[in-house]
Amino acid sequence: MFLCAFPCVSHSRLPLFLRKYISPCKRRREDAQPGSAPRAWTRMPSCARSEPGAPTAGSPPPAAAGPAGRGGPGAAGPGALGGPAGGGAGGGGRKAAGPGAFRLTEKFVLLLVFSAFITLCFGAIFFLPDSSKLLSGVFFHSAALQPPPPPPGFQPRAPPQPGAGPAMPEEAGGAGSLERIRADHERALREAKETLQKLPEEIRRDIRQDKEKLLQDARGRKEAAAAGLPQRPFRQPVGAVGREPADPAVRQRRDKIKEMMKYAWDNYKRYAWGLNELKPISKQGHSSNLFGNIQGATIVDALDTLFIMEMKEEFKEAKEWVEKNLDFNVNAEISVFEVNIRFVGGLLSAYYLSGEEIFRKKAVELGEKLLPAFNTPTGIPWALLNIKSGIGRNWPWASGGSSILAEFGTLHLEFVHLSHLSGNPVFAEKVMNIRKVLSRLDKPEGLYPNYLNPSSGQWGQHHVSIGGLGDSFYEYLLKAWLMSDKTDEEGKKMYYDAVQAIETHLIRKSSGGLTYIAEWKGGLLEHKMGHLTCFAGGMFALGADGAPSDKTGHHIELGAEIARTCHESYDRTSMKLGPEAFRFDGGVEAIATRQNEKYYILRPEVIETYMYMWRLTHDPKYRQWAWEAVEALEKHCRVDGGYSGIRDVYSNHESHDDVQQSFFLSETLKYLYLLFSDDDLLPFEHWVFNTEAHPFPILRKEDGSKEEKEK
């Protein structure tokens, strides 16, 4: 092959891997002495091909070399070294090379051969598909290649049986690579086509946004590192943005709800930007003492609603406000419960949806400022906390200074996620200690009273409610189990035991066939159900899947009955909006009888239950009932400056309370939007909502193991 044109190369000096491919047709005798006439080349016995000047059968032998030196007149014929075929020169010709020069030439030739060989190998590796097979087929077909040793535990594949289908290739790597290349190519073509369809201004805007996103991500990582937070790769969440509904009527209704959100947001931005809430009649800001001097409750509460509705510009300006203005270094007393579910919850969900590090940083910072609330003899937190001094206390009206079940029992989801995102177990330890305290206490009739003294660790008044003061404690027992990927067996048992006691002692049916949940006061029932209690319909339905198999259908039916009762409380008012509380006594059913129970403050609980019932049953009546509520909101609550609550839903004349609650944007409008969206938007298999409707991802077991490995 390569060396046939170079007779000066010794066959014995060739690399082993080339010797068998090159016929050793000629060789030079190596025993010539310096100064003596070189001997003639002799043919190897194995040579099967004649060469110029070689003797053939029946031909005379070549003339012998004369005594003269190389190129002298004694040289005879082309076979002699001195003759023309030998490359020598007669008389004044080129001087013949000695044995040392041959070795230098050999090195030069070998260098050329190796260079060509390496070039071929690298070319095959980088530019040819499945290059290892190609190289072995071209260059090494005459040699039996030894395969690499099999991995431990390898079982050889059985040979194909006669009559079997076509054998699959032993290695699918090449085919898989081609498939990936083809898919990448098609995706690149699609992206290029989409880009070409855009206007130049849109392309420039997209490039600018991508640059800003990269800069923000880098800045966020630096801030997280500065705050001592662990590096955490952001994974695009499942269902953060869903598809457009296929049904045009449903799509139109969902678009209307998005327009309501924009109207509420724009008016807040116009008249109360940076303050906690909006007074839409007065067109100015409103601040509740629940938040102390912390500002921006509506902004933080609305972040995730803006995101899932794809209101990108509004989300961007809200994020910028959080980054520049959200400040927790204030000397003020705040409600631990309200700040947790609205601020901590809103920041956590915004982080999980968008991956913006500023939200994680702010959430952990605020969580750390809430930790002094747990500095009580039992670890049951105070209701109120000065976040600068760390001094806490309870509401003075709460049963001798007791902590409230719905407040200290509604920290679990947020604090578990704070530990997950910060790497600091103290948050989860605080809320798990609450479980320990509760497990040691006797429960009257299996029920949890609304008041617990944080100093003595004993119950206060035996007042039990699934509405105000108790509601979200039960909700968080169920959702803690779901959020743990159904591994929190303690939370699960506490929830289903509590539901059994509620069914036995609190759930009743009216003479008109309406199922309701009464309140329990020292063994006596008060046949009153609050608007807040209406969330329980969705809770019962959501928990049906984990109930004992013979109770699953019963829990769904119980949820449906509660939903029907709460719908009746809306339908029996003049404005088709529900009162704060309604009663079942004195011949009255699902109607408020006291003036201080007739108001509606844009609450979400009835809509919440409709949303869960729709997702779990797809009964169209829940969408219809929700749309009736939308029409009532538009007719009676929409004013020039936003949306306002109503003082009396039974009146024929509207009297507004002049407050646009932050939870109207966070909960009421979000649940309505989800009702008229497909189930792929924030699916229950991947998300759990806190009591302020902020979605948190389910913490999968494999996610925890992956993070441990990453650390």
Question: Helices (H) and strands (E) in the chain — how many of each?
Answer: 23, 20
The question of whether 314 is a catalytic residue gets the answer no
| C-beta of residue 424 within 8 angstroms of C-beta of residue 483 | no
E-strand ranges in 632-681 read 638-639, 642-643
The question of whether 526 is a catalytic residue gets the answer no
* One-character DSSP codes across 18-77: HHTTS---EE--S-PPTTSPPPPPEE-TT--S--TT---TTSPPPPPP-SS-TTSTT--T
Choosing from 301, 357, 471, 648, the catalytic residue is 471
Q: Measure CA 487 to chain center.
A: 20
- Indicate the DSSP class of residue 293: T
The question of whether 519 is a catalytic residue gets the answer no
Show the tokens assigned to 118. Answer: 């390496």
- Specify the residue for token string 């608007």: 531
Residue of 315, 332, 292, 305 whose CA lies nearest to 692: 305
Residue of 524, 525, 559 whose CA lies nearest to 540: 559
- Angle, helices 552-571 vs 620-632, to 10°: value is 30
688 contact partners, CB below 8 Å, separation of at least 6: 413, 479, 482, 483, 695, 696, 697, 698
Q: Is 691 annotated as a binding residue?
A: yes
Could you tell me the strand order of the sheet in which 463-464 lies? 463-464, 519-521, 524-526
Choosing from 338, 561, 608, 692, the catalytic residue is 338
Show the tokens assigned to 642. Answer: 């936003």
Choosing from 580, 589, 648, 658, the catalytic residue is 580
User: What is the spatial distance between Cα 174 and Cα 330, in angstroms, rounded to a whole number?
Assistant: 62
Residue of 689, 352, 340, 348 whose CA lies nearest to 542: 689
For the chain, report the end-to-end CA distance as a whole number of angstroms.
Answer: 57
The question of whether 320 is a catalytic residue gets the answer no
- Specify the residue for token string 């009146």: 651
- Specify the residue for token string 């067109």: 283
Choosing from 323, 414, 605, 692, the catalytic residue is 605
For residue 142, count CB atoms less than 10 angstroms from its CB and return exposed for 0-12, middle for 13-18, buried for 19 or more.
Answer: exposed
Residue of 634, 630, 656 whose CA lies nearest to 645: 656
**Which contiguous run of DSSP H or E holds residue 116?**
helix 99-127
Residue of 657, 527, 539, 655 whose CA lies nearest to 603: 657
User: What is the spatial distance between Cα 634 and Cα 612, in angstroms, rounded to a whole number?
Assistant: 23
Q: Which residues are annotated as a binding site for Ca(2+)?
A: 691
Q: Which residues are annotated as a binding site?
A: 691
What is the set of active-site residues? 338, 471, 580, 605
